[in-house]
Amino acid sequence: MTDLAALYRDDFHGWAMDQSWKLRDLAGSPALAGIDVEYVAAEIEDLGVALRNLVETTIKYAVEALIAIVTDGKGPRDAVDMIGSARDDYGPSMSAYIDMDEIWKTARQKALNRIAEEGGETPDIPESTPFRLDELLAGDVDLLVYMIDQSRER
């Protein structure tokens, strides 16, 4: 298996970004005459970006589900499923684009708004994320909930 095949299999986002850059570098090459290199490269890049956006959205939902476990006592099933789904599609090249602090702040505010709308008491939810992306993707929901709880007590 070539390195490119491994990259395609293990980090599609990284492969798509790499291939789109390489195609753009070859623009104007006689071997690519008649091929709309810029649009082909943009389409390949868009596939990688779409996958990254899907993973980021799934991570947002997983964080919301983790906060719901802590604030509402809901079961971990949704969080487990979402983390597993994100992990399946995640590639290491995405880490530079996924901002866990921003995801946490958005999920936290959404939880606070939902609880306020329901007339519940405002819970103590940490203002900053208590875990890193790699810790989330490891998928140990009990540990993640523990990390949230520990951050609440500070």
The 10s digit of each residue's pLDDT in 79-106 is: 999 999 999 999 999 999 999 999 999 9
Among 133, 147, 142, smallest CA distance to 94 is for 133
Q: Which amino acid is at 88?
A: D
CATH code (residue 77): 1.20.1220.20
User: How many angstroms separate the CA atoms of 125 and 137, rounded?
Assistant: 21
* Contact status, residue 39 vs residue 20, Cβ threshold 8 Å: no
Per the structure, the complete domain to which residue 41 belongs is given by: 3-152
User: How many angstroms separate the CA atoms of 148 and 135, rounded?
Assistant: 12
Structural domain count of the chain: 1
62: left (phi over 0), alpha (psi -120 to 50) or beta: alpha
Residues of the chain with confidence (pLDDT) below 50: 1
The model carries a pTM of 0.89
